[in-house]
Chain A
Amino acid sequence: MTRKKSSQDLSVEEIELRSWKAKLVGAWIFTIPIAVFMFSERIFGFALMPVEWMIPSLLVLGFPVVFVFGWSTIRTGFRGLFSLYFNMDSLIALGTVIAYLTGFFSYFNFVADYSGVASMIMAIFITGKFIETKARGKASQEIKKLIQLGAKKARILKNGKEVEIDSSEIKVGDVMVVRPGEKIPTDGVVIKGESAVDESMISGESLPIEKSKGSSVIGATINQDGVLYVKALKIGKDTFLSHIIELVEEAQGTKVPIQKLADKITSVFVPVILSLAVLSFANWWLITGELSRALGVGISVLVIACPCSLGLAVPISLMVGSGIGAKNGILIRKGEAIQTMKQAKIIVFDKTGTITKGKPEVTDIYSKDKNNRLLEISASVERFSEHPVARAIVEKAGLKKYKRVSGFKVIRGKGVQGFIGKNRILIGSRKLFYENEISLDGFEEKISNFESHGKTTMIVSKNKKILGIIAVADAIKPDSPEAIRMLNKSGFRIIMLTGDNERTAKAIARLVGIEEVLADVLPEDKSNKIEELQKEGFVVFVGDGINDAPALKQSNVGIAMGTGTDIAIEAGDIVIVKGSLVGVVQAINLSKATFSKIKQNLFWAFAYNIVAIPIAIAGLLHPIIAEIAMALSSITVVTNANLLRRKKI
């Protein structure tokens, strides 16, 4: 489905480019002789034909240039004039048609002949459009590549036999056979086989990821060395790749605040220029009394003004920037984030799943009595909880049979409670035990010791007696310290936010190099903390998109961390697909680079129009030079945006 759409999209652009190319060739075939005739006297010192043949031949040769090859421009231009939905073509259409008509009027001797000029303006305009279209295609190349990324064919098992089908025909539940070197056709789960999979095209992660039975795989990633049997779980618009494409495409329609002025000007640009052209024409005619001179000035004003450079400056930079981002697993969802990022002073990181892997493991079990079945009791109670720490305990215990538990209850932010027989079991943090007035005597030292090593400590009690403690650690992601070091160097104030207790949190913070820690923050308070910090400056919040959605929304720029197989679509202004902190550094660098490109482009577009239009009004520019300048100005903006690609992020 996705693929079909993409090939159509591509061909539309290809058709557009080809049509401009055909027009370009056609227009110049007639325009070159026109130019030779017009300038022969000046260049060769003699006229190539008798004067009385000159104007008729210019009119004959010019007709196809203006009215055949330029027809689409003339048509939309005049339609715009009559419907009052003015566009760029309205200016060119009016300029060329008036210039062409002077050829006829010159027979009545009240005006000089500009008909040759009409053809030249149209030919240059078409050339400019061709170059611009080509460069625009280049600007969207990363996004186009993303759209074409999907596998075309798939092999599925049908009654025990392998059958090749189109990827679009895969149904959820089909088992796909993926050989080494092949693309995995769609999202699914490995049911047989082992292999490494290259996911760089989706996540920007350069190292292949090991996959075995039970691993999730993403469509369009490439299987490296073993045969994988994958059960399809998501198809069509629901796949990871489709979501990424959708995010990137939707971002293109969002606005960067700085473009407001440019947009406002663009929307009134053409009518303003039309009035200016009429005024300059009238003024020159009144003052000099020379109709020809006045017409020349009027035409110059019409064709020199360039709304395209203004209107394109921001969207094309945004497109190149978000394309580069997508290639590196950084999805910019809102154009605004690019501008806001520049003002950011404070970066707040959530701990679990952002700085750390988010997969805690049991590291120590401490109990004074060897036979009290600490782990068995804990796992039996904790298996009713969804909390990652609970899962770590259940996994560690690996029980086949659990004890019967009744009255299970989550005590939010503190722990859990359940009954085994008549015995009340509590598992949780210190707070839980203070509140229940259960003494931690004899365990305090051990608890502090675990905590200062960055381990989360779960205390387990039966009725009023402590059974023991289970320490759980969530390893930091390998590139977290490197990323924090880079951000520290860039002068950001960095804060770690967590629900963990202060000692554990500080130990983790030390490991990655963060000095400021906000510990013991309940999940629902995270966004309040962000709000408080915002009094001191713009805040970037980095967290997972599922639990931290309110904090992501509250912050000035919310960066959502993906897990590599899932992305939270709704939260975050920027999404880091692979969820690495280095991705955050890249996202900040990319935003800054893109924003400075936007500013450059806007500057040139404004400067061009502010300088060029008055010069044309002053009558200092020949219409042909004016048209060349116009074409160059929009080409410059588009080319400059493409230069963003050279920036290392």
Chain B
Amino acid sequence: MKKLKLVIEGMHCASCASNIERSLKKVEGVDSVSVSLMLKKAIVEAKDSVSEEDLKKAIARAGYKLAKIE
């Protein structure tokens, strides 16, 4: 288990938060996602098998960009 804080670019409206949440939850091994619209960050709890690349792809699929992982 690991906890990651993702900083996301391009999040500018309320639907964005739910889009990102939806897409990240589809990633195999992701247990919980909480997206803060205000901070433009997502906190993801995932199994160790989940790679940075998987999360990046999921965010891109919803139309946003992973700026960095804190």
Contacts and interface: CB of A to CB of B under 8 A. Distances in A.
- Chains A and B come from one and the same complex: yes
B14 A253 contact: no
Interface string B1-39: 000000001101111111100110000000000111111
Interface string A244-288: 000001101111000000010011011000000000000000000
Contact of B19 (A87, A139, A250, A319): A87
Nearest to B21: A267
Contacts of A85: 19, 22-23, 61-63
Interface residues on B, range: 20 to 34
B13 A89 contact: yes
Nearest to A248: B39
B46 interface: no
A16 B67 CA distance: 14
A5 B69 CA distance: 12
A315 B34 CA distance: 12
Contacts of A250: 43
A83 B62 contact: yes
B36 A253 contact: yes
A253 B15 contact: no
B37 A139 contact: no
A552 interface: no
Given A5-B70, A83-B62, A269 B15 contact: yes
Interface string B33-56: 011111111110000000000000
19 contacts: A76-B63, A79-B63, A83-B63, A85-B63, A86-B19, A87-B16, A88-B14, A249-B41, A253-B36, A253-B39, A263-B18, A267-B15, A270-B15, A307-B15, A311-B15, A311-B17, A312-B37, A315-B37, A318-B38
Nearest to B10: A76
Task: Say what secondary structure dominates the interface of chain A.
Answer: helix
3 tightest CB-CB pairs across the interface, nearest first? A311-B14, A253-B34, A88-B13
A308 interface: yes
A153 interface: no
A638 B12 CA distance: 14
Output the residue of B35, B39, B70 with the most chain A CB within 10 A: B39
A80 interface: yes
Interface string A60-100: 00000000000000001001100101111100000000000
A220 interface: no
B18 A315 contact: no
Contacts of A318: 38
A459 interface: no
B12 A129 contact: yes
Interface residues on A, range: 35 or more
Given A85-B22, A88-B13, A307-B13, A80 B63 contact: yes
A253 B35 contact: yes
A87 B62 CA distance: 10
B15 A86 contact: yes
A200 interface: no
Given A88-B14, A253-B42, A311 B63 contact: no
A636 interface: no
Contacts of A89: 12-13
Given A85-B23, A253-B42, A267-B15, 10 more contacts: A5-B70, A80-B63, A88-B12, A140-B38, A253-B35, A255-B34, A263-B18, A312-B14, A312-B37, A318-B38
A374 B25 CA distance: 66
Given A85-B63, A253-B43, A311 B19 contact: no
Contacts of B18: 263, 266-267, 311
Interface string A299-326: 0000000011011100110110000000
A312 B39 CA distance: 12
A136 interface: yes
Contacts of A252: 36, 38-39, 41
Nearest to B23: A85
A139 B38 CA distance: 9
A54 B13 CA distance: 35
B63 A308 contact: no
Contacts of A12: 9, 40, 67
Output the residue of B13, B23, B40 with the most chain A CB within 10 A: B13
A177 B39 CA distance: 35
Given A79-B63, A307-B13, A310-B14, A249 B22 contact: no
